Chain A
Amino acid sequence: MNNKGQMIGRRLLQIAPVIVLATFVVFGLLQLVPGDIAVTLAGENATDARIVQIRQTYGLDQPFLVQYGHWLWNAAHLDLSRSYLSNEPVLDQILHRFPTTLLIVAVALLISLIIGVPLGIVAATRPGSRLDTVVTSFASLGVALPNFWLAMILVATFALTWNIFPATGAVAFGKDPAKALLHAALPAFALAAGGIAEVARQLRSALIEILSSQYVRTLHAKGLSPTAILWKHGLKNVSVTLLTVVGLLINRLLGATVVVEAVFAIPGMGSLIVHAAIHKDFPVVQGVVLAMVVVVICMNLLIDMLYAILDPRVGRT
Chain B
Amino acid sequence: MRASHPGRRQVLALLGGAPAFAAAHPAKAQGEPRRGGVLRVSAPTNPSTLDPMTGSAGSDHIYLYTLYDTLVEWEPATLEPRPGLAESWAWPDPTTLVLNLRQGVVFHDGTPLDAEAVKFNLDRARTDPSSNVKPDLASLRAVRVTGPLQVALDLLQPDTALPLILSDRAGMIVSPAAVKERGSRHDRDPVGSGPWRFVSWADNEKVIVTRNERYWKPALPYLDGIEIQVIGEVNTGLRSVITGQNDFVYFLAPQQKPIIDRAKNLVLVSGPTLWCIQIYLNYGRKPLDDVRVRRALNYAIDRIAFNKATANGLAEPAMLNLPASHWAFDQAMADANSYDPDKARHLLAEAGYKDGFDLDIQGTSDQRSIQREEVLIEQFQKAGIRAKFTNGVIPNSTTQFFVEKKHDAYLSSWTGRPDPTQTYQLLFSKDGFYNAGRAGPVPELIGALLDTRKDQAIADRKQAFARLQKLVTENALVVPLQFQFEMDAHTARLHGFRPNLLGKPRFENVWLDT
Interchain CB contact under 8 A, A47 and B402: no
| Contact status B399-A43, CB under 8 Å | no
Q: Which of these binds chain B: A196-204, A275-283, A301-309? A: A275-283
Among B20-28, B132-140, B444-452, B455-463, the stretch that binds chain A is B132-140
Interface residue? A169 (CB, 8 A): yes
The CA of A68 and the CA of B442, in the complex, are separated in Å by 45
- Decide if A271 touches B132 in the complex (CB within 8 Å): no
Q: Is the CB of B236 within 8 A of A263?
A: yes
CA distance A35 to B490 in the complex (A): 36
Q: Which of A148-173 contact B (CB under 8 A)?
A: 155, 159-160, 163, 166-169
Contact with A along B24-55 (1 / 0, CB 8 A): 00000000000000000010001011000001
Assess whether B399 is in contact with A47, with CB atoms less than 8 Å apart: no
A44 to B135, CA, bound (A): 11
Q: Which of B184, B202, B399, B404 contacts A96 (CB 8 A)?
A: B202
B78 within 8 A of A: no
A59 to chain B, nearest CB (A): 16
Q: Is B232 an interface residue (CB 8 A)?
A: yes
Find out whether the CB atom of A45 lies under 8 angstroms from the CB atom of B136. yes
Contact at B202–A155, with CB atoms within 8 Å? no
Residue numbers in A under 8 Å from B205 (CB-CB): 267
| Docked-complex contact B48 and A39, CB < 8 angstroms | no
Interface readout for A74-93 with B: 1 if CB under 8 Å, 0 if not?
A: 00000000010111100001
Contact A48 B239 (CB under 8 A): no
B236 lies within 8 A of A41 (CB): no
Cβ B243 vs Cβ A159 within 8 A? yes
Docked pose: A57 CA to B400 CA in angstroms: 21
Smallest Cβ distance from A104 to chain B, in angstroms?
15
B240 on interface, CB distance cutoff 8 Å: yes
Q: Which of B215-245 contact A (CB under 8 A)?
A: 229-233, 236-237, 239-240, 242-245
Tell me the residues in window 125-173 of chain B with beta carbons closer than 8 Å to chain A beta carbons: 129, 132-136
Instruction: Give B136 Cβ to nearest chain A Cβ, in Å.
Output: 6
Q: A88-B203, A169-B245 are in contact. Are A262 and B399 (CB under 8 A)?
A: no
Please indicate the chain A residues that have their CB under 8 angstroms from the CB of B426 in the complex: 45
B 41-79 contacts with A by CB, 8 A: 42, 46, 48-49, 55-58
| Residues in A116-161 with C-beta less than 8 Å from chain B | 155, 159-160
Q: Taking CB as reference atom, which chain A residue is nearest B414?
A: A44
B57 shortest CB reach to chain A, Å:
6
Q: Is the CB of A33 within 8 A of B396?
A: yes
Q: Does B369 lie at the interface of the complex (its beta carbon under 8 Å from any beta carbon of A)?
A: no
Min distance, Cβ B67 to any Cβ of chain A, angstroms? 17
Interface 1/0 per residue, A36-63 and B, CB below 8 Å: 1101111111111011010000000000
- Main secondary structure, interface of A, reads helix
Q: Mark B177-209, 1 if CB is under 8 A from A, else 0.
A: 000000010011000000000000011110000
Q: Does A114 contact B (CB under 8 A)?
A: no
Q: Are A267 and B202 in contact (CB under 8 A)?
A: yes
Known: A45-B135, A50-B132, A51-B403. A159 touches B202 (CB 8 A): no
Whole-angstrom distance between the Cβ of A116 and the nearest chain B Cβ:
29
Whether the Cβ atoms of B187 and A87 lie closer than 8 Å is: yes
CB distance from B169 to the nearest CB of A (A): 8
Contact pick for A167, options B56, B230, B243, CB 8 Å: B243
**Nearest CB to that of A45 among chain B residues?**
B135
Q: Are B243 and A160 in contact (CB under 8 A)?
A: yes
A34-B400 contact, Cβ under 8 Å, with A166-B243, A265-B232: yes
Which of A39, A53, A271 is in CB contact (< 8 Å) with B395? A39
List chain B residues, Cβ under 8 A from A50.
Answer: 132, 134
- Report B-chain residues with C-beta under 8 Å of the C-beta of A33: 396
A41 near B56 (CB under 8 angstroms)? yes
- List the A side residues contacting B399 at CB < 8 Å: 34-36, 39
Please give, as numbers and ranges, the residues of chain A lying within 8 Å of B236 by CB-CB distance. 167-168, 262-265
- CA A33 – CA B404 in complex, angstroms? 13
B138 CB to nearest chain A CB (Å):
10
Residues of A within 8 A of B136 (CB): 45
Interface residues of B in 266-293 (CB under 8 A from A): none
**Chain A residues near B393 (CB, 8 Å)?**
35, 278
Q: Are A39 and B203 in contact (CB under 8 A)?
A: no
Task: Check: B433 CB closer than 8 A to any chain A CB.
Answer: yes
A272 on the B face (CB < 8 A): yes
B415 sits at the interface (CB 8 A): yes
Contact with B along A213-245 (1 / 0, CB 8 A): 000000000000000000000000000000000
Contact B133 A45 (CB under 8 A): yes
A44 touches B57 (CB 8 A): yes
A85 to B129, CA, bound (A): 17
Pair B242/A160 contact, Cβ less than 8 Å: yes
Tell me the complex Cα distance, A170–B243, Å.
15
Indicate the member of A39, A155, A265 with the most B CB atoms within 10 Å.
A265
B residues near A39, Cβ cutoff 8 Å = 395, 398-399, 402-403
- Beta-carbon nearest neighbor of A41 in chain B: B56
Partner of A35 from B42, B240, B396 at Cβ < 8 Å: B396
A286 to B46, CA, bound (A): 20
Given A34-B399, A51-B403, A265-B233: A40 and B56 within 8 A (CB)? yes
Q: Is the CB of A86 within 8 A of B396?
A: no
Q: Which residues of chain A come closer than 8 Å to B231, judged between CB atoms?
A: 168-169, 265
Complex: chain A residue closest to B184, CB-CB: A87
Q: Are B433 and A47 in contact (CB under 8 A)?
A: yes
**Which partner residue on chain A sits nearest B398 by CB separation?**
A39
Q: How far is the CA of A265 from the CA of B205 in the complex (A)?
A: 9
Q: Is B392 an interface residue (CB 8 A)?
A: yes
Do residues A44 and B415 form an inter-chain contact, with CB atoms below 8 A? yes
> B239 and A167: CB pair below 8 A?
yes
Closest residue of chain A to B244 (Cβ to Cβ) is A163
A168 and B239: CB pair below 8 A? yes
From residue 234 to 269 of chain B, which have CB atoms closer than 8 A to chain A?
236-237, 239-240, 242-245
Assess whether A37 is in contact with B203, with CB atoms less than 8 Å apart.
no
Nearest A residue to B60 via CB reads: A43
Most A CB within 10 A of own CB, among B136, B393, B426: B393
In chain B, what residue has the closest Cβ to A156?
A: B239
User: Are B203 and A86 interface neighbours, CB within 8 A?
Assistant: yes
Chain A residue numbers with a CB within 8 Å of B129 are 53
Docked Cα-Cα span, A161 to B252, in Å, equals: 21
Q: A41-B56, A87-B49, A265-B236 are in contact. List 16 more A-B contacts (CB 8 A).
A: A35-B392, A35-B393, A36-B395, A36-B399, A39-B399, A43-B57, A45-B134, A47-B135, A83-B203, A167-B240, A168-B231, A168-B240, A169-B229, A262-B233, A267-B204, A280-B395
Interface residues of A (CB under 8 A from B): 33-37, 39-48, 50-51, 53, 83, 85-88, 93, 96, 155, 159-160, 163, 166-169, 262-265, 267, 271-272, 275, 278-280
Q: Which 9 A-B pairs have the closest CB atoms?
A: A43-B56, A35-B396, A265-B231, A267-B205, A36-B399, A168-B240, A167-B239, A46-B433, A167-B243
Q: List 20 A-B contacts (CB under 8 A).
A: A34-B404, A35-B395, A35-B396, A44-B56, A44-B415, A45-B426, A47-B431, A48-B433, A87-B187, A155-B239, A159-B239, A167-B243, A168-B229, A168-B236, A168-B240, A265-B229, A265-B236, A271-B204, A278-B393, A279-B395
